[in-house]
């Protein structure tokens, strides 16, 4: 079952943050992941406006997300993200099994 990572952050130091973004694509790919969005413009259609950065990733499974996150290369790359940004949300959610005809009671 696919799993999704939604990351929403505020970038405080764009130059240092580039040290993170330059390292992450091959590590994501190593675990079967792909970027669905990577910092594109966000439009708020309801609720509070958000002016930070949002990234959405898709992985084959929750186990792949956990392996990616624990990877030593990714842990090293994260030091740049931690130095350059403030994480607002880092969310992991597995995809649903029935997305074509979902149960209306859920």
pLDDT tens track for 22-35: 999 999 999 999 99
Domain with 26, as residue range(s), is 3-94
Q: Is residue 58 part of a domain?
A: yes
Residue 98 has pLDDT above 70, yes or no: no
Q: Is residue 72 part of a domain?
A: yes
pTM of the model: 0.89
Q: Is residue 50 part of a domain?
A: yes
Residue 100 has pLDDT above 80, yes or no: no
Q: Is residue 103 part of a domain?
A: no
Q: Is residue 86 part of a domain?
A: yes
- DSSP letters along 33-83, please? -EEEEES-----SSSS---SEEEEEEES-HHHHHHHHH-HHHHHHHHHHHH
Q: Is residue 100 part of a domain?
A: no
Q: Is residue 105 part of a domain?
A: no
Q: Is residue 102 part of a domain?
A: no
Check which CATH number belongs to the domain holding 16 and give it: 3.30.70.100
Q: Is the dihedral of CA 8, 10, 13, 14 positive or negative?
A: positive
Q: What is the structure's pLDDT at 32? A: 98
Region 40-62 average pLDDT: 95
Query: What domain count does the chain have?
Result: 1
């Amino acid at each position: 079952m696919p799993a999704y990572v939604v990351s929403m952050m505020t970038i405080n130091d764009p130059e240092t943050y580039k040290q993170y973004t330059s390292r992450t694509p091959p590590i994501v790919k190593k675990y079967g992941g792909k970027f669905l969005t990577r910092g594109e413009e966000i439009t708020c259609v309801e609720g509070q406006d958000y002016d930070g950065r949002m990234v959405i990733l898709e992985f084959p499974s929750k186990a792949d997300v956990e392996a990616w996150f624990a990877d030593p290369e990714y842990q090293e790359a994260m030091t740049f993200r931690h130095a350059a940004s403030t994480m607002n949300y880092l969310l992991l959610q597995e995809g649903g099994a029935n997305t074509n005809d979902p149960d209306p009671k859920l």
